[in-house]
């Protein structure tokens, strides 16, 4: 890439008390790209995203956003640059879909017409325009997942962090989410995206990072990864297993 | 985004959820109202109207069935400290039934007029009464004795006075000769009084009434020359009793604490349901999360307090709205103190269960010590209990409301100012504490 990176992460380390979850991880995200973050359970994907979005503050290393020192845990202006789609659903069950989006939109600083447009776009994105006035507690898992994504993208952040946005949903919803992400990508948005689903990553991501036990195991496009391992015909899943081993994780 | 706007957004979100759960909300209002109602109502009986003592219930088995025993019972029924059972028209009970009732816990005092009561009395003797009692009920014991003394004195038309005095002196250790002298002296004074104030033949009923109205409570105090004056603030409503004002204040404060606990816990629910991640990742200043919960809790608290006090006013006429400035100051300080207390618990606890467990314990303890259940302040307690009481925020809130209801203090009254400033001080301390705890938890 000849562009300057949007976000650059250098030698990131994070430890929960004794356990080192991220050890010396460095990577960059370039504007307009979709970066796939792959790794078995417990590899440190969620931890890395939490450091990037400021939920965790006691990390070591450095981050730059457009070349500027970046510590969103301490600066609300910097948090406004990011959108977060947490791995766990983060919605208010007793509010309607619309009310959820309105609240998170306002919290992200939107008002008036901008807010109205963002909410209706969000409902559209989630495929929930017809259920806008229903309470989220009455939604299926897939509907909640879709709304969860829309809630993170309301203010069209410069960088959208998605932590396993397709976990545990039926093929229809997965497909919808997949298409949503494709749409965002085509709009030229920058995404970091973690998943277990190899073919999704293969199709969606410009570049893939494979993380293993908190450190980078390999990076590149799906094709480059396969070639680097001398497995030119292998699919991403085979590459993944080759790099991270076959033993169980949890 | 500024902290206030962000906090306001969060508070509005919580209010929306709060008022959406209709059943939960109604319960949140109905239960406190029910409790204030029950306690306010019951406290009427506990200390009686106008702050006087209530009556202790006394059961009687009349095994003598004479004219004298009937008259004795009539006088006993008229005594102000006793309510006599069985009432007229109800089935009479026997001594063995009384014993069983006491064992069963149905009654606590049973008086037996043994056969020969009337005969002994006619012969000028002092018939012995048999009292069966539950040893735990010492409070009622005093009131019943006062009633019996009155009736005993009355039934002999004062004739038993010398014998009663003699008996008392012997009990106190006086030897028989001396006691006999006291008896005869009493006899002479009685005769003298009868001569000076001859018994009116025309109005025997009036005499009886006078005797029935004989007030043992005041008997001894009247021996000492003393002028008594009652002091009450001029505006104090006639219907309110001290105990009632205490109950309404206490239960209102206690229920407010329980009501606000549910709101404070919404901070923890936010964490447990994952939405805290979004709040933290949003551009809103992080302290706005805590202040948002604070606003929400305080708003609900203020509404609940208004509803509870309006209820107290409607049903018990405690004249809540007499002094709006004081009322407002008290409501604001109480709500703030209880809200900060809730926030402190919510930012300390890891889980909702922890928060609810700890605060239920604390609320009950503070309510008890602060006088929400019974007027602990009215008793002479050891000094460490005294300090324990004063360390509870309930004590100061209840003392404030009691000061407003009963003593009719305005917010400028030193005692009321003390209550208000302690409550405010508590709010500030607890709010700072919760902010520290909240920050520390974020520093992961
Ligand atoms: N809150 C936590 N406290 C302690 N250890 C944690 C916590 N969250 C995650 N971990 C540990 O950190 C490691 C990385 O976890 P995580 O980032 O969630 O992995 P991933 O998202 O890739 O599945 C795991 O070993 C996990 O057990
Ligand atoms: Mg994860």
Token duo for residue B188: 């002479």
Token duo for residue B35: 């409790």
Spatial contact of B247 and B43, defined as CB atoms under 8 Å apart: yes
Residue of A199, A220, A198 whose CA lies nearest to A209: A220
B224 band by pLDDT with thresholds 50, 70 and 90: low
B213 band by pLDDT with thresholds 50, 70 and 90: very low
Q: Cα separation of B196 and B188, whole Å?
A: 12
Q: Which pLDDT value is given to residue B226?
A: 61
Average pLDDT score, chain B: 83
Nearest-CA residue for ligand 1 atom 25 is: A42
Residue of B297, B279, B298 whose CA lies nearest to B288: B279
Q: Which of A142-156, B232-246, B380-394, B427-441 has the lowest mean pLDDT?
A: B232-246
Neighbours of B271 (CB within 10 A): 18
- Interface test with chain A among B1, B24, B273, B282, by most A beta carbons within 10 Å: B282
Which candidate from A58, A79, A104 shows the least CB-CB separation from B444?
A58
Q: How far apart are the CA of A45 and the centre of ligand 2, in A?
A: 6
Spatial contact of B70 and B132, defined as CB atoms under 8 Å apart: no
Does residue B351 have a pLDDT over 70? Answer: yes
Neighbours of B357 (CB within 10 A): 12
Contact with chain B for residue A92, Cβ under 8 A? yes
Q: Which pLDDT value is given to residue B45?
A: 64
Spatial contact of A82 and A161, defined as CB atoms under 8 Å apart: yes
pLDDT tens track for B361-394: 999 999 989 888 877 777 777 888 888 999 999 9
Buried b (16+ CB within 10 A) or exposed e, A121-150: ebbebbbbeebbeebbeebeebbbbbbbbb
Q: Which pLDDT value is given to residue B216?
A: 47
pLDDT tens track for B27-85: 777 877 887 777 777 766 665 544 445 678 899 999 999 888 888 888 888 877 788 88
Q: Cα separation of B415 and B399, whole Å?
A: 9
Q: Which of A178-182, B215-219, B418-422 has the lowest mean pLDDT?
A: B215-219
More confident residue, B247 or B416: B416
Which candidate from A53, A94, A107 shows the least CB-CB separation from B9?
A107
pLDDT tens track for B293-347: 999 999 999 999 998 888 888 888 888 888 999 999 999 999 999 999 999 999 9
Spatial contact of B410 and B417, defined as CB atoms under 8 Å apart: no
Does residue B118 have a pLDDT over 90? Answer: no
Spatial contact of B84 and B151, defined as CB atoms under 8 Å apart: no
Element (H, E) at A12: strand A7-16
Quick one: which atom of ligand 1 is closest to the CA of B444? 1
Q: Cα separation of A65 and B4, whole Å?
A: 28
Q: Which pLDDT value is given to residue A243?
A: 79
Please tell me which of B35-49, B213-227, B363-377, B397-411 the model is most confident about, judged by mean pLDDT: B397-411
- The ipTM is 0.92
Does residue B206 have a pLDDT over 50? Answer: no
Q: Which of A208-222, B152-166, B284-298, B395-409 has the lowest mean pLDDT?
A: B152-166
Q: Minimal Cα distance from B8: which residue of A?
A: A107
Which candidate from B6, B20, B444 shows the least CB-CB separation from A94?
B20
Ligand at shortest distance from the CA of A38: 1
- Interface test with chain B among A89, A96, A98, A106, by most B beta carbons within 10 Å: A106
Residue A242, preceding bond cis, omega within 30 degrees?
Answer: no
Contact with chain B for residue A167, Cβ under 8 A? no
**Does the distance separating the beta carbons of A57 and B442 come in below 8 Å?**
yes
Per residue, the 3-state secondary structure of chain B, as one string, reads CCHHHHHHHHHHHHHHHHHHCHHHHHHHHHHHHHHHHHHHHHHHHHHCHHHCCCCEEEEEEECCCCHHHHHHHHHHHHCCCEEEECCCCCCCCCHHHHHHHHHCCCCCEEEEECCCHHHHHHCCCCCCCEEEECCCCHHHHHHHHHHHHHHHHHHCCCCCHHHHHHHHHHHCCCCHHHHHHHHHHHHHHHHHHHHHCCCCCCCHHHHHHHHHCCCHHHHCHHHCCCCCCCCCCCCCCCCCCHHHHHHHHHHHHHHHHHHHHHHHCHHHHHHHCCHHHHHHHCCCCCHHHHHHHHHHHHHHHHHHHHHHHHHHHHHHCCCHHHCHHHHHHHHHHHHHHHHHHHHHHHHHCCCHHHHHHHHHHHHHHHHHHHCCCCCHHHCCCCHHHHHHHHCCHHHHHHHHHHHHHCCCCCCCCHHHHHHHHHHHHHHHHHHHHHHHHHHHHHCC
What φ, ψ does residue B159 adopt, rounded to 5°? -65, -25
Q: Cα separation of A219 and A233, whole Å?
A: 17
Q: Which residues of chain A have pLDDT under 70?
A: 1-2, 232, 246, 248-250
Nearest-CA residue for ligand 1 atom 1 is: A16
**Does the distance separating the beta carbons of B20 and A95 come in below 8 Å?**
yes
Q: Which pLDDT value is given to residue B203?
A: 47
């Amino acid at each position: 890439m000849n562009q300057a990176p949007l976000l650059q992460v250098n030698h990131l380390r994070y430890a929960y008390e004794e356990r080192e979850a991220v050890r010396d991880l460095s990577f960059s995200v370039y504007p307009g790209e979709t970066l796939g973050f792959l790794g078995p359970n417990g590899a440190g994907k969620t931890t890395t995203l939490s450091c990037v979005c400021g939920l965790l503050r006691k990390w070591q290393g450095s981050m730059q956003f457009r070349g500027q020192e970046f510590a969103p845990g301490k600066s609300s202006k910097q948090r406004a640059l990011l959108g977060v789609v947490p791995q766990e659903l983060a919605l208010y069950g007793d509010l309607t879909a619309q009310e959820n989006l309105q609240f998170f939109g306002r919290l992200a600083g939107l008002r008036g017409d901008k807010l109205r447009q963002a909410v209706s776009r969000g409902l559209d994105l989630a495929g929930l325009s017809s259920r806008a006035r229903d309470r989220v507690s009455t939604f299926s898992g897939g509907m909640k997942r879709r709304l969860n994504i829309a809630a993170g993208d309301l203010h069209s952040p410069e960088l959208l962090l998605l932590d396993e946005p397709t976990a545990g949903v039926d093929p229809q919803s997965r497909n919808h989410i997949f298409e949503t992400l494709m749409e965002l990508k085509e709009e030229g948005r920058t995404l970091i995206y973690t998943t277990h689903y190899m073919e999704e990553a293969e199709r969606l991501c410009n570049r893939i990072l494979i993380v293993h036990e908190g450190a980078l195991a390999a990076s590149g496009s799906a094709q480059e990864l396969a070639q680097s391992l001398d497995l030119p015909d292998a699919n991403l899943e085979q590459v993944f297993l080759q790099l991270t081993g076959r033993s169980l994780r949890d | 985004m500024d902290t206030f706007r962000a906090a306001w957004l969060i508070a509005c979100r919580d209010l929306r959820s709060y008022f959406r759960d209709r059943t939960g909300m109604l319960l949140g209002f109905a239960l406190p109202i029910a409790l204030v109602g029950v306690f306010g109502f019951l406290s009427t009986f506990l200390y009686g109207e106008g702050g006087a003592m209530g009556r202790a219930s006394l059961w009687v088995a009349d095994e003598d069935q004479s004219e004298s025993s009937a008259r004795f019972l009539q006088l006993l029924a008229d005594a102000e400290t006793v309510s006599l059972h069985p009432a007229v028209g109800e089935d009479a009970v026997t001594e063995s039934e009384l014993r069983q009732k006491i064992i069963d816990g149905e009654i606590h005092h049973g008086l037996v007029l043994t056969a020969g009561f009337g005969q002994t009395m006619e012969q000028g003797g002092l018939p012995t009464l048999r009292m069966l009692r539950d040893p735990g009920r010492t409070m009622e014991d005093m009131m019943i004795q006062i009633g019996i003394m009155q009736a005993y004195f009355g039934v002999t038309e004062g004739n038993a006075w010398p014998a009663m005095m003699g008996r008392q002196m012997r009990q106190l250790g006086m030897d028989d000769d001396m006691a006999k002298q006291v008896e005869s002296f009493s006899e002479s004074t009685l005769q003298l009084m009868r001569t000076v104030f001859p018994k009116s033949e025309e109005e025997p009923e009036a005499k009886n009434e006078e005797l029935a109205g004989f007030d043992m409570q005041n008997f001894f105090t009247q021996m000492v020359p003393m002028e008594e004056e009652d002091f009450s603030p001029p505006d104090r409503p006639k219907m309110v009793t001290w105990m009632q004002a205490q109950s309404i204040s206490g239960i209102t404060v206690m229920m407010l604490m329980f009501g606000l606990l549910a709101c404070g816990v919404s901070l923890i629910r936010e964490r447990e349901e994952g939405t805290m991640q979004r709040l933290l990742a949003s551009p809103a200043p992080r302290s706005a999360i805590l202040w948002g919960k604070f606003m929400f809790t305080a708003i609900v608290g203020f509404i609940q307090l208004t509803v509870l006090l309006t209820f107290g006013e409607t049903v018990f006429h405690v004249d809540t709205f007499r002094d709006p400035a004081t009322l407002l100051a008290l409501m604001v300080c109480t709500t703030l103190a209880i809200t900060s207390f809730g926030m402190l618990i919510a930012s300390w606890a890891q889980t909702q269960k922890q928060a609810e467990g700890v605060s239920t314990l604390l609320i009950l303890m503070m309510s008890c010590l602060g006088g929400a259940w019974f007027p602990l302040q009215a008793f002479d307690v050891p000094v460490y209990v005294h300090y324990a009481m004063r360390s509870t925020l309930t004590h100061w809130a209840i003392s404030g409301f009691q000061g407003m209801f009963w003593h009719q203090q305005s917010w400028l009254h030193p005692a009321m100012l003390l209550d208000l400033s302690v409550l405010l001080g508590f709010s500030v301390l607890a709010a700072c504490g919760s902010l520290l705890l909240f920050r520390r938890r974020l520093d992961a």
